[in-house]
């Protein structure tokens, strides 16, 4: 299935990284500001620990069970019934995450650009493109993300550079005025965020590298994610200060205040374009993972053929869930956190512990 496709380690982590920073830049500053105010860098750094843990878990599983995806590992170690139950649960939780991302994307577009376009159309368009990408396979998703990568990074960096004259760093002060524990409340939220690094476990067989290299590169990408998000957070706080919590999409607001000799005044469309590229990468990857997982259930069917049913399923569910802004950011956020925590962290860590305790006899094969 995906064993015939070969990607490099850079291709392996890049879609996850791009997906995390694009969605993170848009909504995370506001969410974290509500919890930690100007000290929001602290929960971010603390929660990046979960990213390192996830990379460790993935690398261990990769090293221990070469050539198997997470679902297959569940099956081989936990037996048929529990394994199937766990993989079904994982699948459900992944679909939950996909629904939230789709709705988040649709809300952003509806609020800012397409007030009159039906939500189903906005979601359906993205899903159609993602379906095409999934149909072409993992290699294509990774390669196109490599192609989009410089554009996404360049636009974000240029935004940060151009807004520099407007920044006032004193807005970052006072540091830790309410103690250390107060800002850490926000970490719960971003813990879930970093757990997305587990997604790699679903297409592990596509890479063939020594486990050590996988670990170091993974750590590098987690660090890169933290650094990129920190830069954006600092820019947002230094620019908006207390007003950060007023805006849903605070970095978008920052973008609108760029003024270079009256020329690049209206660059918000540019921001929207690169944001779309990032969302596409994230969604295509997630849809690929869901298709591959489903393909494991329905044997003898290639994941490419499952792209269409998965797309229809996502479209159907997402047109019923979180139809309003309020429901999305109150219920949806809670729902997403549960999905991420259970699916991306608790289940795999339980698997890891189970393997460490009860499955020591499995022969180790090539790796480090």
Residues near another protein (CB under 8 A): 4-5, 8, 10-11, 109, 113-114, 117, 121-122, 125-126, 128-129, 132-133, 136-137, 139-140, 143-144, 146-148, 262, 265-266, 268-269, 272-273, 276-277, 280
Rounded distance, CA 106 to CA 355, Å? 40
The least CB distance from residue 36 to another protein, in Å, is 33
Rounded distance, CA 54 to CA 192, Å? 11
CB-nearer residue toward another protein: 88 or 304: 304
Return the axis-axis angle of helices 303-318 and 80-112, rounded to nearest 10°.
60
The least CB distance from residue 76 to another protein, in Å, is 28
The least CB distance from residue 280 to another protein, in Å, is 5
CB-nearer residue toward another protein: 62 or 105: 105
Q: Which residue in 42, 37, 44 sits closest to 243, CA to CA? A: 37
The two structure tokens encoding residue 248: 């849903």
The least CB distance from residue 221 to another protein, in Å, is 16
CB-nearer residue toward another protein: 121 or 312: 121
CB-nearer residue toward another protein: 202 or 280: 280
The least CB distance from residue 197 to another protein, in Å, is 22
**Can you list the alpha helix ranges (DSSP code H) found in 202-267?**
211-240, 250-256
Burial zone of 266 (CB within 10 Å; 0-12 exposed, 13-18 middle, 19+ buried): exposed
The least CB distance from residue 75 to another protein, in Å, is 27
CB 50 within 8 A of CB 258: no
CB-nearer residue toward another protein: 122 or 214: 122
The least CB distance from residue 273 to another protein, in Å, is 5
CB-nearer residue toward another protein: 195 or 217: 217
Q: How many CB atoms lie within 10 A of CB 299?
A: 6
CB-nearer residue toward another protein: 136 or 208: 136
The least CB distance from residue 318 to another protein, in Å, is 16
Backbone angles phi, psi at 59, to 5 degrees: -65, -40
The least CB distance from residue 177 to another protein, in Å, is 39
Rounded distance, CA 149 to CA 213, Å? 22
Reduce the DSSP state of residue 145 to 3 states and report it: helix
Q: Which residue in 19, 240, 261 sits closest to 149, CA to CA? A: 19
Measured torsion, CA atoms of residues 234, 235, 238, 244, in degrees rounded to the nearest 10:
-90
Rounded distance, CA 302 to CA 267, Å? 42
CB-nearer residue toward another protein: 233 or 303: 303
Instruction: Round to the nearest angstrom and report the end-to-end CA distance of the chain.
Output: 25
The two structure tokens encoding residue 213: 């290299």
DSSP string, 85-101: HHHHHHHHHHHHHHHHH
The least CB distance from residue 136 to another protein, in Å, is 4
CB-nearer residue toward another protein: 25 or 276: 276
H or E, element range at 337 = helix 333-339
Distances (CA, A) of 209 to 9, 151, 366: 8, 28, 10
CB-nearer residue toward another protein: 81 or 116: 116
């Amino acid at each position: 299935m995906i064993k015939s496709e070969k990607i490099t380690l850079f291709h392996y982590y890049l879609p996850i990284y791009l997906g995390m920073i694009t969605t993170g830049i848009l909504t995370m500053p506001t969410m974290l500001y509500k919890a930690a105010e100007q000290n929001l860098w602290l929960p971010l750094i603390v929660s990046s620990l979960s990213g390192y843990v996830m990379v460790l878990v993935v690398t261990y599983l990769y090293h221990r069970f070469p050539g198997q995806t997470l679902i297959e590992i569940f099956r081989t170690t936990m037996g048929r019934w529990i394994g199937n139950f766990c993989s079904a649960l994982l699948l459900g939780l992944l679909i939950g995450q996909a629904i939230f991302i789709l709705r988040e994307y649709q809300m952003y577009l509806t609020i800012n650009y397409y007030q009159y376009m039906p939500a189903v159309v906005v979601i359906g368009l993205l899903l159609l493109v993602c379906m095409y990408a999934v149909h072409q396979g993992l290699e294509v998703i990774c390669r196109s993300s490599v192609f989009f990568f410089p554009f996404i990074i360049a636009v974000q960096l240029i935004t940060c550079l151009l807004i520099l004259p407007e920044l006032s760093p004193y807005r970052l002060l006072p540091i830790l005025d309410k103690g250390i524990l107060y800002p850490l409340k926000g970490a719960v939220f971003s813990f879930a965020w970093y757990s997305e690094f587990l997604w790699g476990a679903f297409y592990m067989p596509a890479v063939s590298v020594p486990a050590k290299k996988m670990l170091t590169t993974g750590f590098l990408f987690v660090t890169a994610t933290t650094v990129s998000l920190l830069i954006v957070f600092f820019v947002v706080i230094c620019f908006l200060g207390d007003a950060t919590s007023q805006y849903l999409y605070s970095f978008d607001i920052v973008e609108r205040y760029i003024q270079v000799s009256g020329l690049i005044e209206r660059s918000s469309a540019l921001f929207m374009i690169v944001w779309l590229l990032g969302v596409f990468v994230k969604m295509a990857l997630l849809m690929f993972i869901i298709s591959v997982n489903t393909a494991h259930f329905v044997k003898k069917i290639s994941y490419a053929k499952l792209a269409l049913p998965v797309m229809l399923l996502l479209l159907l569910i997402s047109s019923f869930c979180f139809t309003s802004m309020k429901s999305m950011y109150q219920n949806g956020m809670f729902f997403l956190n549960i999905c991420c925590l259970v699916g991306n962290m608790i289940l795999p860590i339980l698997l890891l512990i189970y393997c460490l305790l009860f499955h020591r006899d499995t022969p180790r094969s090539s790796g480090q």
